[in-house]
Amino acid sequence: MELRARDSERQRSSSLRLDSRKAGPAGPSLELLTAVEFVDSELQMLGNAQHYDSQTGLPNFESFRKLLGILLQDGADDGEVAVIWIDLLNLRREFSLHGWTGAESLVRRVANALRSSADDKTLLCRFSGRCFVVAMQAGKLARRDRRRIQAIVEALKNAHPSFQQAEPQIAAGVAFYPADTRSAEDLVRFASLAATRASYLKSHAAIPFHSSMNSLIMQDHQVEVEMEYGLERSQFTTVYQPKIGLLDGSILGVEALTRWNHPAWGPVTPGEFIPVAERCGFIHRIFESTMRNALRDARMWCKQGYLLPIVTVNVSANSLRRRDFAGTVRRMLREWQIEPTRLEFEITESVMFDDEELFASRVRQLKQIGVRVAIDDFGTRYTGFNQLRQLPLDVMKIDRCFVHGIGRCRDTLSLCHTIVAMARRLGMRTVAEGIEEPEELEALRRIECEAGQGYLFQRPVPAAELETFLREWPGRMAGFGFEMAGEAKETHGLARSV
Ligand code: C2E
Ligand code: MG
Ligand code: MG
């Protein structure tokens, strides 16, 4: 079976004629010939537009669909076909940075790279804006064929400078006929699902389709679609949880946490939507929106006379990986006129663990700006002392799982004691997460943990409710064993009574 989908550099006037004819006895049963003819008449140019993608000169989706249909129909008995879906993840970004010219150049270069790497039996197609599809004869189990498929994806890496980044900018998935399906439509759909999985996994290689992807991705996809819609319609809001100085009851700051109130699903917890947002790339939009809200509210509290020294925002690896991360932070601080030393980022220990170099370089950049950096959920991974020693971190947050029951378990208490002592030697302050019981507070005080947050003091609440907390805190402090009176109250929580 021979499949040819030749396109032309002279795409301006090329046209595509679909033809099929039988090959000789030793050859394939069908030769699908896409003959390119050059014609000048306006009429034929119109015909051309129907078959080819005008930017790349590759067959468009309509043509591809027909060609693939014929290919599978005629080759059903003796052939195996691989369909590869290629998604240019950074096309939108190229457009944002360099306009049409940049986006067009990216697309053209990819098309050219595909042409160079594919042989004339391979069908190429520009499926839609950022997606290309390739169909070629290949067996699912044949190693040689799998290598050919990877070679096509590999070849794309040199097509454009933006593809040289550590994080893959191309996602590729592959589905096989007839092993995965006999339907042409499903074949393309399965390859696209596999590509979506590849983008979630940040895989540089083409991921083969697996039947489990259908349900998993459809689920993620639904959340993804709803998330995009929700971000545009302000369904995401920010709540705040105060951080309290455990030795004197002072309010040291607030942690900003994101909430999603879906109109039909109700509140969706961060545990549910953050992992999907990380996989599908929305997490940076969530970060920007939370940071904007936090800085705006910090500005407002400052104007109203509340003394809230520090606002903390959680940052995920995806945001940190962005080259312009430090620039974005600088710009937002300027926009909201917030002193850098009043902003703190919480980065989970797992990020530090997974990508040491990235973590170190970003921490240094942030410290240069003057922003504080905390290591979140400390104790959940095995961060080395040496690694910690080399970084200018400000705060170590002891994970909730250690705080829970610290008042009743000697081992947990001595472990937390060690963490506090270690942090102090490294010049870091410790903040205990998830304090729920008075005994936990008492135990943390005994080991001289400097600060804490938890439902015991206050659950995360919207800005207006936080103001109520700030106003009432001086009156409530004594109930937690904090002794403070008179003027001292004014420097803790409230600069002036409202
Ligand atoms: P985290 O940064 O460690 O935040 C603390 C989590 O503990 C919050 O959960 C908070 O509501 C919860 N918490 C606070 N006090 C207590 C307590 O006394 N008991 C218990 N059981 N829980 C307490 P939340 O808001 O559900 O957030 C969960 C995680 O989701 C956060 O953990 C953080 O890693 C992530 N997250 C939340 N918002 C964002 C965001 O805007 N960006 C990113 N990247 N991650 C976020
Ligand atoms: Mg946090
Ligand atoms: Mg935490």
Query: What whole-number distance in Å separates Cα of residue 356 and Cα of residue 402?
Result: 24
Ranges 1-10, 143-152, 324-333, 437-446: which has the least confidence: 1-10
**Ligand nearest 241 Cα, by number?**
1
Tens of pLDDT, residues 293-306:
999 999 999 999 98
Ranges 46-60, 115-129, 481-495: which has the least confidence: 481-495
Residue 433 CB less than 6 A away from ligand 1: yes
Nearest CA to ligand 1 atom 16: 434
| Average pLDDT of the segment spanning 251-270 | 92
Ranges 164-173, 279-288, 368-377: which has the least confidence: 164-173
Alpha carbon of 347 to ligand 3 centroid (Å): 9
Which of 273, 283, 291, 433, when mutated, tests ligand 1's pocket best, judged by the most ligand atoms within 8 Å of its CB? 433
Query: What whole-number distance in Å separates Cα of residue 398 and Cα of residue 459?
Result: 18
Query: What whole-number distance in Å separates Cα of residue 470 and Cα of residue 92?
Result: 43
| Average pLDDT of the segment spanning 279-283 | 85
| Average pLDDT of the segment spanning 448-475 | 96
| Pair 469, 242: CB distance under 8 Å | yes
- What tokens were used for 384? 């080395």
Strand-strand pairing, 81-88 and 236-245: unpaired
Residue 377 CB less than 6 A away from ligand 1: yes
Q: How confident is the model at residue 77 (pLDDT cuts 50, 70, 90)?
A: low
How many beta carbons lie within 10 A of that of residue 433, not counting itself?
22
**Ligand nearest 270 Cα, by number?**
1
Tell me: pLDDT of 487 over 80. no
Ranges 8-22, 103-117, 278-292: which has the least confidence: 8-22
Q: How confident is the model at residue 430 (pLDDT cuts 50, 70, 90)?
A: very high
Which atom of ligand 1 has the smallest separation from the CA of 399?
3
Q: What is residue 17's predicted lDDT score, i.e. its pLDDT?
A: 30
How many beta carbons lie within 10 A of that of residue 177, not counting itself?
26
Tell me: pLDDT of 22 over 70. no
Q: What is residue 198's predicted lDDT score, i.e. its pLDDT?
A: 86
Residue 376 CB less than 6 A away from ligand 1: yes
- Phi and psi at 346, nearest 5°, equal -100, 125
Tens of pLDDT, residues 406-425:
988 888 899 999 999 999 99
pLDDT, greater one: 187 or 37: 187
Interior angle at CA 380, CA 388 and CA 457, nearest 5: 100
- What tokens were used for 186? 């499903």
Residue 286 CB less than 6 A away from ligand 1: yes
Which of 257, 403, 441, when mutated, tests ligand 1's pocket best, judged by the most ligand atoms within 8 Å of its CB? 257
- Phi and psi at 329, nearest 5°, equal -65, -45
Helix (H, G, I), strand (E, B) or coil at 120: coil
Tell me: pLDDT of 42 over 80. no
Residue 434 CB less than 6 A away from ligand 1: yes
Residue 385 CB less than 6 A away from ligand 1: no
Q: What is residue 304's predicted lDDT score, i.e. its pLDDT?
A: 92
Residue 455 CB less than 6 A away from ligand 1: yes
| Pair 74, 1: CB distance under 8 Å | yes
Q: What is residue 74's predicted lDDT score, i.e. its pLDDT?
A: 65
Residue 258 CB less than 6 A away from ligand 1: yes
Which atom of ligand 1 has the smallest separation from the CA of 257?
38
pLDDT, greater one: 222 or 457: 457
To the nearest whole percent, how much of the chain has pLDDT over 90?
49
pTM across the whole model: 0.64
Instruction: Tell the residue number behind the tokens 């950022």, with chain if given.
Output: 130
In angstroms, the first-to-last Cα distance of the chain is 81
To the nearest whole percent, how much of the chain has pLDDT over 70?
84
Q: How confident is the model at residue 63 (pLDDT cuts 50, 70, 90)?
A: confident
Which atom of ligand 1 has the smallest separation from the CA of 348?
34
Q: What is residue 66's predicted lDDT score, i.e. its pLDDT?
A: 86
How much is the CA Rg of the chain, to the nearest whole Å?
Answer: 29
Q: What is residue 242's predicted lDDT score, i.e. its pLDDT?
A: 98
Residue 122 CB less than 6 A away from ligand 1: no
Mean pLDDT of the chain: 83
Query: What whole-number distance in Å separates Cα of residue 461 and Cα of residue 238?
Result: 8
The alpha helices in 159-251, defined as continuous H runs, are 184-201, 212-232
Strand-strand pairing, 207-208 and 451-452: unpaired
Q: Name the residue type at position 308.
A: L
Q: What is residue 299's predicted lDDT score, i.e. its pLDDT?
A: 95
- Phi and psi at 49, nearest 5°, equal -60, -25
Q: What is residue 39's predicted lDDT score, i.e. its pLDDT?
A: 26
Closest among 379, 374, 300 to 337, alpha carbons compared: 300
| Average pLDDT of the segment spanning 189-209 | 88
The alpha helices in 404-462, defined as continuous H runs, are 410-425, 438-446
Q: How confident is the model at residue 353 (pLDDT cuts 50, 70, 90)?
A: low
Residue 314 CB less than 6 A away from ligand 1: yes
Q: How confident is the model at residue 280 (pLDDT cuts 50, 70, 90)?
A: confident
Strand-strand pairing, 429-432 and 451-452: parallel
Q: What letter would DSSP give residue 209? A: P
Nearest CA to ligand 1 atom 17: 434
- Beta-bridge partners for 378: 398
Instruction: Tell the residue number behind the tokens 């300027």, with chain if given.
Output: 334
Query: What whole-number distance in Å separates Cα of residue 255 and Cα of residue 431?
Result: 11
Q: What is residue 484's predicted lDDT score, i.e. its pLDDT?
A: 59
Residue 63 CB less than 6 A away from ligand 1: no
Q: What is residue 307's predicted lDDT score, i.e. its pLDDT?
A: 82
| Average pLDDT of the segment spanning 310-315 | 97
Taken in order of first residue, the domains within the chain and their CATH numbers are 6-209 (3.30.70.270), 220-490 (3.20.20.450)
